[in-house]
Amino acid sequence: MADKPVALAQKKLMDVKLGQLPSWLGTRDFTPNGLLGSVRGGYERYYNKYINVRKGGIGGVAMFLAGYIALSYLWEYDHIKHDRWRKYH
Amino acid sequence: MLSRLVLVSGHTLKNSGSFGACLVQASRSFHQSSQSLAPVPPLPEKGGKVRHGIFPEELFTLLYPKTGVTGPYMLGTGLLLYMLSKEIYVINHETFAAASIGAVVIYGIKKFGPSVAAFADKINEDKVAKAQEVKDQAMASLTQGIEDEKKEQWRVEGRHMLFDAKRNNVAMLLETNYRERLHMVTNEVKKRLDYQVELQNLHRRMEQEHMVNWVEQSVIKSITPLQEKESIAKCIADLKVLAKATQARATV
């Protein structure tokens, strides 16, 4: 495919090919400021896509809650392990 | 529907002026970037599509070319069975609680969702209508201001007439003042001349009277006592003759 040449640093994650992934990670900004900036950017993207609209649906909040449920299950897994029904899987 | 309520409450938290949807973006980007963003683009009508409430549509479009329509569902089923069989997801009392809560929540959303959405929409509509009203009023007052300004400019063109009238007024004032002073001058001069005339008359009268008096005085002085005796004797003789004449006339 003839894409116009875009620098590796500006590409989004979905456009990066698998082989270029380590070098792409190298260009990312891992300073605390950079991390904060990326968190804020992600939050703003999510907010603008799902919540800051005229007729939002349940999706915006529900996805957030589902993500929270999944994350809290993950954090509690070491404790929930003891409720397993079988010893060998 | 819930996110509409979030939006409503978020707006009332963010700007208490409650200026509707468009200005939230504007207020956020106002403080961050220096480029001008007016007019602010309107909010998108609908958010990103989400299937079954929690799965974004992008997942389905991602898998569609390779696996068709049922791909994501097969993926979901497979994942679920894998997690259950390997007990990555453990079934315990919490599962039952989660299932009950999930059932109630889903029932509630399905039943009351649309009405809550309509309510939140109505609140938003009212806010937008109020903001629109403010904007319309501002526009009306500004156009009125433009009209008034144009009228004032038209009035300015007539200022030469105003100045002519003023010039006439001033000229009249000057004329009146001049005539008053002329009057005064004539009066004063006339008074002085009258005075002089009267003075001369007085002089002449006084001289006349003085002369008459002097003549009388000198005449009286000139009547010597001798002449006085002679005139008195002549008067007595005349009187005697007259008495004789009347006596003679009376007897006859």
Evaluate whether residue B212 is within a structural domain: no
Q: Are residues B39 and B56 in the same domain?
A: no
B105: nearest CA partner in chain A: A62
**Chain A: nearest CA to B12, how far in angstroms?**
14
Instruction: Give B-chain residues touching A80 at CB under 8 angstroms.
Output: 90, 92, 94
Q: Are residues B1 and B24 in the same domain?
A: yes
Chain B residues 119-148 with a CB less than 8 Å from chain A: 121, 124
- How far is residue A76's CA from residue A81's CA, in Å, rounded to a whole number? 9
Would you state the pLDDT for residue A18? 79
Amino acid at A71: L
Name the stretches of chain B with pLDDT < 70.
1-37
Would you state the pLDDT for residue B2? 58
Q: Does A39 touch chain B (CB under 8 A)?
A: no
Q: Does B13 touch chain A (CB under 8 A)?
A: no
Boundary residue ending a domain (B29, B64, B90): B90
**Chain B: nearest CA to A22, how far in angstroms?**
23
Evaluate whether residue B164 is within a structural domain: no
Q: Measuring CA to CA, how many Å separate A28 from each of A13, A17, A34, A36, A46?
A: 11, 15, 8, 13, 20
Nearest CB among A49, A51, A54 relative to B6 is that of A51
Domain count, chain B: 2
- Collapsing DSSP to helix, strand or coil, B195 comes out as helix
Cβ atoms within 10 A of the Cβ of A56, count? 27
**Chain B: nearest CA to A12, how far in angstroms?**
16
Q: Does B31 touch chain A (CB under 8 A)?
A: no
Would you state the pLDDT for residue B28? 53
Q: Does B45 touch chain A (CB under 8 A)?
A: yes
Q: Are residues B28 and B9 in the same domain?
A: yes
Cβ atoms within 10 A of the Cβ of A63, count? 18
CB B64 within 8 A of CB B51: no
Boundary residue ending a domain (B62, B90, B118): B90
Q: Are residues B31 and B9 in the same domain?
A: yes
pLDDT in tens, B124-143: 899 999 999 999 999 999 99
Evaluate whether residue B61 is within a structural domain: yes
Does the pLDDT at position A73 exceed 90?
A: yes
Would you state the pLDDT for residue B224? 72
Evaluate whether residue B141 is within a structural domain: no
Does the pLDDT at position A72 exceed 50?
A: yes
Evaluate whether residue B181 is within a structural domain: no
Parent domain of B22: 1-43
- How far is residue B25's CA from residue B43's CA, in Å, rounded to a whole number? 9
Evaluate whether residue B159 is within a structural domain: no
Evaluate whether residue B86 is within a structural domain: yes
- How far is residue B204's CA from residue B211's CA, in Å, rounded to a whole number? 10
Q: Does A66 touch chain B (CB under 8 A)?
A: yes
Q: Are residues B5 and B39 in the same domain?
A: yes
A45: nearest CA partner in chain B: B48
Joined tokens for residue B135:
């904007």
Evaluate whether residue B143 is within a structural domain: no
